[in-house]
């Protein structure tokens, strides 16, 4: 009886009736009784109900499994998990050989993509990247740039040089020196939509990496940010396996400069003058940057060449702008929507893009069949695709052009005069800003005629992008294609079929853009977008018409001088013949000759 009371059950009414299992729950023992006494009396250990654990797999009891089997109901089997791949198959061998490749390791094996495919070109690329960084830093700090370039041939080597480029810029913070000069794809310009010489954050680090690969020497940087701070000299290498900088040494430097940066790179190269040389590059840099004082000291030269500035005024600083809707692809649009701080679609379009007002945002949403109050981060892929298609159907203003800093027509003429000296004719043209793929750009063209230029050779073409001279890959550049596509015979110049015109002319073409579409990472040629080709052709035609008028006036003046010489030659003979025929005196003969000369001069159109 005590046992029945303990477990809360009653005896079965008949032997055939099996007692049902007791419900699991807490068991209350009578006062004074213990569990051990109960067990000794023949009872069983009571079960305790445990709180269900949501993360623990629930195993059914044996009674429940028997009941399910008797009823014929089978529990659906759980999906099998894929077995862990263990073995010695070919796939395992191939997987074991795979590893991540760093960007610096890739470019160390493919350095030709960055312009280091020959010794001569590598030397030029190193100077170009260092000068570009110096000019960008000075202009961003509102400092008139003073840049000095020195190339020293090292003794005991035929092809080893020390390149030193110094500037009077704002300097670099000590903890940023390593990242700027020894880490690829690190910089402040890639994510900004504004005109600048550098874009990708590769150039100067790649130059240091090339020097490290060819000579084993680190890049040495000296920098100072103000007279109140110490000057620091740092030597850095780049760990190409991880794309991280390694500081070799550092020391406090006794430097006489209040601020600025100097970088020294020892590398294997080849120095030759002429086309595609450092001399040509720096001379053209002085043309496109008339506000810069540039000093160049080549090897075996006693005195440096100094290009004095043509103006003391800095160019207008370009402003950073937001992306234009026309230049955003679907994937980028979805990424911007996820990263936007705006919660509603209409606010996202207005705040994250340029030239999108509240009215334009409503038109885009209506065209896409979406509500302006829809949550941006909740839009599905189909809705994002509809939004992207709707943007192309709505008329939106061109992006703002204050992100550009063109040279200007007057400074282009002054720059050309510095390059070739006195010429017979100068002309320049700055086109109104235009757009390709939502990116604003502006084309400028300058021409110089005569001077010391050869009349029987092709014209000299100077290509620039964001004030940087382009020295290589002229055949694949949009600028060259646009120049050769113009019919120069209509502008009084000879032109072989499909080639540059022939004549004593310099043609300068400059493209300013918030994002120049270069054909490769080496930034040597501009991609041939139809909008870019059209603007270059129009600017060339404007300058060509003015040059044609000058050439026609010069030809008329030449013909006039030739005819005048004929008059001076034959009038005295005519007077002598009239005197003999009419038996005139000398006085009357002289008067007659003067009258004939005056009549012929007045009857001709000068």
Q: What is the average per-residue pLDDT within 202-218?
A: 91
In a domain, 428, yes or no: yes
DSSP state of 459: P
Shared-domain flag, residues 265 and 133: yes
Q: Is the pLDDT of residue 167 over 90?
A: yes
For 10-49, how does the pLDDT look when each residue is reduced to its tens digit (9 = 90+)? 444 444 444 444 444 454 545 545 544 454 555 545 555 5
Q: Is the pLDDT of residue 289 over 60?
A: yes
Q: In whole angstroms, what is the distance from residue 551 CA to residue 536 CA?
A: 22
- Of 396, 243, 240, 406, nearest to 316 by C-alpha is 406
Total number of domains in the chain = 3
The dihedral through the CA atoms of 479, 484, 486, 488 has a sign that is positive
For 119-139, how does the pLDDT look when each residue is reduced to its tens digit (9 = 90+)? 999 999 999 999 999 999 999
Shared-domain flag, residues 243 and 384: no
pLDDT for residue 14:
44
Q: Is the pLDDT of residue 6 over 70?
A: no
DSSP state of 246: E
Q: In whole angstroms, what is the distance from residue 520 CA to residue 202 CA?
A: 12
pLDDT for residue 18:
45
pLDDT for residue 15:
43
pLDDT for residue 428:
93
Q: Is the pLDDT of residue 7 over 50?
A: no
In a domain, 84, yes or no: no
Shared-domain flag, residues 226 and 343: no
Cα 6 to its chain centre, rounded Å, is 85
Q: In whole angstroms, what is the distance from residue 24 CA to residue 61 CA?
A: 12
pLDDT for residue 601:
67
pLDDT band at 506 (very low <50, low <70, confident <90, very high): very high
> Residue 436 is part of which domain span?
409-551
Shared-domain flag, residues 198 and 243: yes
Lowest mean pLDDT among 91-100, 404-413, 467-476, 490-499: 91-100
Shared-domain flag, residues 207 and 296: yes
CA dist list (Å): 85 to 89, 94, 95, 364: 10, 13, 11, 50
Q: What is the CATH number of the domain that holds 362?
A: 1.10.8.50
Q: Is the pLDDT of residue 168 over 70?
A: yes
SS3 labels along 65-87: HHHHHHHCCCCCCCCCCCCCCCC
Q: What is the CATH number of the domain that holds 282?
A: 3.30.565.10
Shared-domain flag, residues 122 and 223: yes
Q: Which of 280, 307, 334 is the last residue of a domain?
A: 307
Q: What is the average per-residue pLDDT within 254-263?
A: 93
Query: And the tokens for 97?
Result: 């050989």
Shared-domain flag, residues 380 and 528: no
pLDDT for residue 233:
95
pLDDT for residue 451:
76
In a domain, 72, yes or no: no
pLDDT band at 307 (very low <50, low <70, confident <90, very high): very high
pLDDT for residue 80:
65
For 356-397, how does the pLDDT look when each residue is reduced to its tens digit (9 = 90+)? 999 999 999 999 999 999 999 889 999 999 999 999 999 999
Q: Which residue has the tokens 């550049």?
A: 477
Q: Which residue has the higher pLDDT, 14 or 312?
A: 312
pLDDT for residue 389:
94
pLDDT for residue 166:
96
pLDDT for residue 79:
67
Compute the mean pLDDT over every residue in the chain, rounded to the nearest whole number. 84
For 445-461, how does the pLDDT look when each residue is reduced to its tens digit (9 = 90+)? 999 988 778 888 999 99
Most confident of 111-115, 315-319, 383-387: 383-387
Q: Is the pLDDT of residue 308 over 80?
A: yes
- Percentage of the chain beyond pLDDT 70 is 84
Shared-domain flag, residues 373 and 513: no
Q: Is the pLDDT of residue 515 over 80?
A: yes
- Do the Cβ atoms of 43 and 3 come closer than 8 Å? yes
pLDDT for residue 60:
63
Shared-domain flag, residues 218 and 287: yes
Q: What is the average per-residue pLDDT within 467-480?
A: 93
Q: What is the largest CA-CA distance in the chain?
A: 179
In a domain, 86, yes or no: no
pLDDT for residue 357:
93
Q: Is the pLDDT of residue 577 over 70?
A: yes
Shared-domain flag, residues 215 and 299: yes
344 forms beta bridges with 375
Q: Which residue has the tokens 């997987």?
A: 95
Q: What is the average per-residue pLDDT within 487-512?
A: 91
Q: Which residue has the higher pLDDT, 591 or 469?
A: 469
User: How many CA atoms are closer than 13 Å to the CA of 258, on its beta-carbon side?
Assistant: 2
Q: What is the average per-residue pLDDT within 216-244?
A: 93
In a domain, 36, yes or no: no
Shared-domain flag, residues 386 and 416: no
Q: What is the CATH number of the domain that holds 444?
A: 3.30.230.10
Q: Which of 551, 581, 600 is the last residue of a domain?
A: 551
In a domain, 601, yes or no: no
Q: What is the average per-residue pLDDT within 502-508?
A: 92
In a domain, 165, yes or no: yes
Under DSSP, is residue 404 helix (H, G, I), strand (E, B) or coil? coil
In a domain, 493, yes or no: yes
Shared-domain flag, residues 215 and 336: no
């Amino acid at each position: 009886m005590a046992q029945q009371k303990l477990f809360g059950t009653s005896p079965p009414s008949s032997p055939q009736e099996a007692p049902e299992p007791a419900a699991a729950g807490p068991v209350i023992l009578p006062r004074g009784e213990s569990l051990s006494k109960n067990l000794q009396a023949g009872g069983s250990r009571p079960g305790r109900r445990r709180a269900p654990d949501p993360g623990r797999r629930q195993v059914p009891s044996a009674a429940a499994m028997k009941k399910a089997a008797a009823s014929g109901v089978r529990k659906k089997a759980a999906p099998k998990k894929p077995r862990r791949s263990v073995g010695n198959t070919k796939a395992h061998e191939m997987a074991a050989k795979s590893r991540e490749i760093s960007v610096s390791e890739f470019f160390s094996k493919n350095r030709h993509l960055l312009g280091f495919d020959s010794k001569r070109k590598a030397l030029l690329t190193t100077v170009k990247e260092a000068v570009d960084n110096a000019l960008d830093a000075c202009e961003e700090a509102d400092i008139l740039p003073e840049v000095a370039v020195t190339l020293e041939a090292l003794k005991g080597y035929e092809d080893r040089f020390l390149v030193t480029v110094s500037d009077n810029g704002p300097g670099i913070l000590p903890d940023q020196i390593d990242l700027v000069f020894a880490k690829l794809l690190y910089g402040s310009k890639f994510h900004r939509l504004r005109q600048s010489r550098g874009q990708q954050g590769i150039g100067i680090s790649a130059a240091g990496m090339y020097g490290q690969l060819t000579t084993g020497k680190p890049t040495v940087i000296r920098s100072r940010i103000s007279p109140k701070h110490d000057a620091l000299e740092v030597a850095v290498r780049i760990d190409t396996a991880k794309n991280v900088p390694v500081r070799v040494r550092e020391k406090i430097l006794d430097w006489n400069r209040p601020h600025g940066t100097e970088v020294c790179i020892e590398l294997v190269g080849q120095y030759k003058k002429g086309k595609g040389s450092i001399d040509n590059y720096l001379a053209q840099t002085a043309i496109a940057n008339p506000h810069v004082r540039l000093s160049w000291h080549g090897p075996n030269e006693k005195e440096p060449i100094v290009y004095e500035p043509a103006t003391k005024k800095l160019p207008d600083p370009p402003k950073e702008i937001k992306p234009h809707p026309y230049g955003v692809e679907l994937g980028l649009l979805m990424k911007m929507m996820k990263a936007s701080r705006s919660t509603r679609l209409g606010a996202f379009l207005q705040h994250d893009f340029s030239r999108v007002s509240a009215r334009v945002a409503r038109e885009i949403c209506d065209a896409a069949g979406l509500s302006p109050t829809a949550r941006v981060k909740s839009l599905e892929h189909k809705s994002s695709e509809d939004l992207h298609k709707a943007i192309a159907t709505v008329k939106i203003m061109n992006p703002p052009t204050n992100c550009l800093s063109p040279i200007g027509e007057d400074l282009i003429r002054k720059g050309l005069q510095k390059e070739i000296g006195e010429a017979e004719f100068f002309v320049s043209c700055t086109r109104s800003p235009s757009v390709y793929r939502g990116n604003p750009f502006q084309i400028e063209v300058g021409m110089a005629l005569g001077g010391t230029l050869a009349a029987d050779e092709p014209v000299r073409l100077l290509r620039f992008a964001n004030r940087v001279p382009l020295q290589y890959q002229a055949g694949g550049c949009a600028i060259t294609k646009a120049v050769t596509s113009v019919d120069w015979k209509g502008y009084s110049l000879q032109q072989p079929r499909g080639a540059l015109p022939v004549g004593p002319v310099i043609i300068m073409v400059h493209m300013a853009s918030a994002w120049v579409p270069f054909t490769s990472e080496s930034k040597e040629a501009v991609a041939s977008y139809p909008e870019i080709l059209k603007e270059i052709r129009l600017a060339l035609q404007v300058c060509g018409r003015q040059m044609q008028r000058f050439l026609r006036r010069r030809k008329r003046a030449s013909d006039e001088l030739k005819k005048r010489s004929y008059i001076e030659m034959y009038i005295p003979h005519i007077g002598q013949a009239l005197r003999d025929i009419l038996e005139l005196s000398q006085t009357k003969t002289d008067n007659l000759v003067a009258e004939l000369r005056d009549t012929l001069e007045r009857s001709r159109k000068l």
